[in-house]
A and B are shown apart, each in its own frame.
Chain A
Amino acid sequence: MKEAVTIDAKGIFYRELNAKLRKAVSNGTQKIELRNVYGQRYIGTDLDKPVEIEIFGTPGNDLGAFMDNPRIIVHGNAQDGCGNTMNNGEIIIHGHAGDILGLSARGGKIFVREDVGYRAGIHMKEYQDKKPMVVVGGTAQDFLGEYMAGGVLILLGLNLKEGERHKANFIGTGMHGGAIYIRGDIEEFQLGKEVGVAELDENDHSVLKKLIGEFASHFDYNAEEILKHKFIKLFPLYLRPYGRLYAY
């Protein structure tokens, strides 16, 4: 059993790379460093132990898909489908992430330092103690939190210039659970029809304090500075957005 191993991923197909990861984890390795990652997919899938994987380079699509427990730190950008249907664990990205970040995730945490693509947080859902949480430092493209059924999605807009609005339109379209917190400017027309805007209450502040505290410690920010700014909370207007559509 080795505490820590380094794997050079250069020129290795994802199937072989993931087989190496599986083997290392089943041997009880606690920490894996992946060097020279060039777009290999599915890193972290089918690993069910709380191993820490540090990635240097650019992991491919579906990073941490169906993942259960590992902690992944990316020194670079992540592609599409990061955290797809993730069950548990943590993904920390020192850069951008592509589309459908956290699709259908039902647990775990994802922190992205910069921006995310389209449909981030789509159809995340929560059940009892399982609650996915996503914090994005920059801004997002359209359909942020689409179909969202649970969990917490925080958009910080730290890289927006003075007076610059967030990029996303149709935020929370079809949302029917969970909460979206947005810091930075946003206009009413950018919101989906199924969300309402609320002031933050005490519980919201404690959620933000905890998650933004973690975000700040990952990326070396001052949490208090971030929290000073005004946040809005988006919540689903209906538990059953499409319940009145039908005739029997």
Chain B
Amino acid sequence: MKTYLPPKFIVERDDSRCIRCEVCVNQCTFDVHSYDAEDDELRSCEENCVGCHRCVVFCPTEALTIRRNPLDYRENYNWRPEVIEDIIKQSETGGVLLTGMGNDKSYRIYWDHLVLNASQVTNPSIDPLREPMELTTYLGRKPDRVEFDSHGLKTELPPQVKLEVPVMFSAMSYGAVSLNVHESMARAATEMGTLWNTGEGGLHPKLYKYGDNTIVQVASGRFGVHPEYLDIAKVVEIKIGQGAKPGIGGHLPGEKVSAEVSSTRMIPKGTDALSPAPQHDIYSIEDLAQLVYALKEATNYTKPIAVKIAAVHNSAAIASGMVRAGADIIVLDGLRGSTGAAPKIIRDNVGIPIELALASLDDRLRQEGIRNQASVVIAGGIRNSGDVAKAIALGADAIYIGTAALIALGCTTCQQCHTGKCAWGICTTDPWLTKRVNPDIGARRLSNLLRGWSLELKDILGGMGINALESLRGNRLHLRGMGLTDTELEILGVRMAGS
């Protein structure tokens, strides 16, 4: 069938700069560039271009420019080019549209409507360059009260995990991303004193040594879940849902289940790894409690058990149930949470913004007097330390970053994760491509990112006259809203700027 899809991008090659080195040909995984030896000319197959800009960055003479194809259909706000193209794709295939990454639609980003406070005159700001600043965060259930005797703390504390910086690497499974990406995150987390998350595809034995900085996931597919996997972890996370596809399971396509991936997931090579939509032992809060305590029993109560859900309409009430079910850490993944593959219609239309979900969850747990019983971690589209500070002021204990971490490794958000052809070697298991992420450099890039954010967080705190992140946590007086309705302000629990 002749496709009616027009090219999304235009490849411009400055022939006066091109030295025929064919770097573009070798770097492109979507077969856009080719070299015609007879005419000594490089040609472009523009309909294949996904706009990842790998060739642009690696062209030694900067001869390449990739531009969006303007696709100037007759102007129509309803029938935008994306809508038209989706219909064309489905009329040619009859399938569910698959995509990668997170929701890219223009839903309001509340972080951009929240501003932070600073000290002026009436209380002094602190200079973090010369005075100690503390970002230390402890994840885990906190007791209702503590008692001391002559030997010190008498109350027995549930297991706590210390973070030097309240930013962790979000769950991305080996299989969705490469082993080199896992290693980069594991090493950076270890260096920076934070945690990384294996995702639901198991953990490669090579990375067991980073166990003290590892969160292992137990999801509906139970891939690679065995006693050793649970034992080496610092935290065990039960995955109920993710922001990119609430209520939906996952299918890691057989093409991505290579020999190595199959050994970690513990399934035969080349078969689809199906993660069912529900966990079949969890149909209720009581059932969740059963799995939480099964994992506590399996790890002899030595580590916190986290439960991750997608932010949906009633997630605050669900989270209350999760705390009562024994979860030590609640993870909430918002509307913009990303994925290696999800149906586009789900990614773009299901779930609620993380800012609103977090605010109502924190409120709900406080109202019920159980906020201390679980730490709250949020995920889904956190872009910089400003977002982190605002999230903490709204009530989060720590933040997961996924897309931001991958961007640090080279990702240009071209949303082709589901194809397994990632030209940046991130979201692929093709051994030829995975070499593009060098774990030595990857770990350095990720550590650098966290180091930068830590410095900025300290600056933000210092400006407020606060010397510990703990004092900002849940302190919404440090936030003001702009351009928000009364209802939005009420849900966020913040006042209008100027008031």
Contact = CB atoms under 8 A, between A and B. Distances in A.
Interface of A: 14-15, 18, 22, 41-42, 45-46, 48, 61-62, 65-66, 68, 80-81, 84-85, 87, 100, 103-104, 106, 119, 122-123, 125-127, 130, 146-147, 149-150, 174, 176-177, 239-248
Contacts of A48: 227
Query: B92, B98, B225, B227: which has the most chain A beta carbons within 10 Å?
Result: B227
6 contacts: A85-B222, A123-B276, A127-B262, A127-B268, A243-B272, A246-B97
B270 interface: yes
| Interface majority SS (helix, strand, loop, mixed), chain B | mixed
A14 B296 CA distance: 12
A150 B98 contact: no
B272 A242 contact: yes
B66 interface: no
Nearest to A126: B268
Contacts of B97: 246-247
A41 B290 contact: yes
Given A45-B297, A81-B290, A106-B226, A147 B276 contact: yes
B290 A62 contact: yes
Given A246-B95, A246-B98, A248-B418, A123 B221 contact: yes
B98 A247 contact: yes
A131 to B, nearest CB: 11
Contact of B254 (A84, A150, A239): A239
B221 A46 contact: no
B321 interface: no
A247 B272 contact: no
B227 A149 contact: no
A123 B298 contact: no
B294 interface: yes
Contacts of B206: none
A100 B92 CA distance: 40
A66 B268 CA distance: 21
Nearest to B251: A242
Given A45-B297, A243-B254, A177 B290 contact: no
Given A62-B294, A68-B226, A106-B266, A239 B272 contact: yes
Nearest to B269: A127
Contacts of B56: none
A246 B254 CA distance: 13
B253 A240 contact: yes
Nearest to A87: B226
B271 A123 contact: no
B419 interface: yes
A248 B221 CA distance: 24
B227 A243 contact: no
A240 B230 contact: no
A151 to B, nearest CB: 11
Contacts of A68: 226-227
B276 A125 contact: no
Given A119-B280, A239-B270, A243-B253, A46 B298 contact: yes
Given A126-B268, A150-B268, A245-B95, A174 B230 contact: no
Nearest to A125: B267
A82 to B, nearest CB: 11
Nearest to A68: B227
B290 A150 contact: no
A248 B418 CA distance: 8
Given A46-B298, A127-B262, A240 B271 contact: yes
Contacts of A46: 227, 297-300
Given A104-B221, A123-B280, A176-B274, A247 B230 contact: no
B268 A177 contact: yes
Contact of A125 (B266, B270, B297, B299): B266
A213 to B, nearest CB: 27
B298 A247 contact: no
A81 B221 contact: no
B272 A87 contact: no
B281 interface: yes
Contacts of A100: 280-281
Given A68-B226, A247-B93, A248-B98, 13 more contacts: A15-B297, A80-B281, A81-B290, A100-B280, A100-B281, A123-B221, A126-B268, A127-B263, A176-B271, A176-B274, A242-B272, A243-B253, A246-B96
Please name the 6 residue pairs, one residue from A and one from B, whose CB atoms are nearest each other, closest first: A247-B95, A104-B222, A247-B93, A127-B266, A66-B298, A240-B272
Query: B89, B225, B297, B299: which has the most chain A beta carbons within 10 Å?
Result: B297
A150 B266 CA distance: 11
B387 to A, nearest CB: 31
B293 interface: yes
B6 to A, nearest CB: 16
A41 B94 CA distance: 47
A8 B439 CA distance: 54
Contact of A45 (B263, B272, B294): B294
Nearest to B222: A104
B89 to A, nearest CB: 5
A117 to B, nearest CB: 12
Nearest to B273: A149
A145 to B, nearest CB: 12
A98 B176 CA distance: 35
B314 interface: no
Given A62-B294, A123-B280, A243-B253, A149 B95 contact: no
Contacts of B230: 66
A128 to B, nearest CB: 8
A36 to B, nearest CB: 20
A121 to B, nearest CB: 11
Nearest to A48: B227
Interface string B66-109: 00000000000000000000000110111111100000000000
A125 B225 CA distance: 11
Given A66-B294, A149-B274, A247-B89, A240 B280 contact: no
Contacts of A247: 89-90, 92-98
Nearest to B223: A125
A90 B400 CA distance: 39
Interface in B338-385: none
Contacts of A248: 89, 93, 98, 418-419
